[in-house]
Amino acid sequence: MPFVEPHSLQWFFIVERADRAFAQTVRAMIASEQSCEICSLCGFPPLGDFHLVEAVTIRREVPSLRLCECCLVERQFAGETLVAVGGARDQGGHPDHRGFLAFWKRITRRLN
């Protein structure tokens, strides 16, 4: 599945159909923060965008999430498989594998 930018029109188009309550929650957070640059789950400043590869607690139709560090770690403990889309906003949406590895090291260091 091609990467769909979280909180974009296309993303809402998909998520509205998959999980209406979730889409409405995200819309409300974006309205109150007056920014799309928020975590999809809690509204905090995000770490980056993540492609949802294998969903466990989140509807599998949801293509991607914008997550803060806490929500990312929580989702990973829940068993979700997420792939970081590094530099999505300054490199035209191309996945940045090196960026992801640096980020992954940072997360695992935090947990150990």
Which residues are at the interface with Zn ion (CB under 5 A)? Answer: 39, 41-42, 44, 68, 71
The minimum distance between CB 87 and Zn ion, in angstroms, equals 20
Q: Which is nearer to Zn ion, 22 or 44 (CB)?
A: 44
What distance lies between CA 46 and its chain's CA centroid?
A: 8
The minimum distance between CB 11 and Zn ion, in angstroms, equals 16
Question: How many Å is the maximal CA-CA distance in the chain?
Answer: 39
Strand order through the sheet with 81-85: 64-67, 48-54, 81-85
The minimum distance between CB 66 and Zn ion, in angstroms, equals 9
Q: Which is nearer to Zn ion, 4 or 41 (CB)?
A: 41
- Of how many residues is the chain composed? 112
Distance CA(11)–CA(19), nearest Å, equals 12
Q: Which is nearer to Zn ion, 6 or 63 (CB)?
A: 6
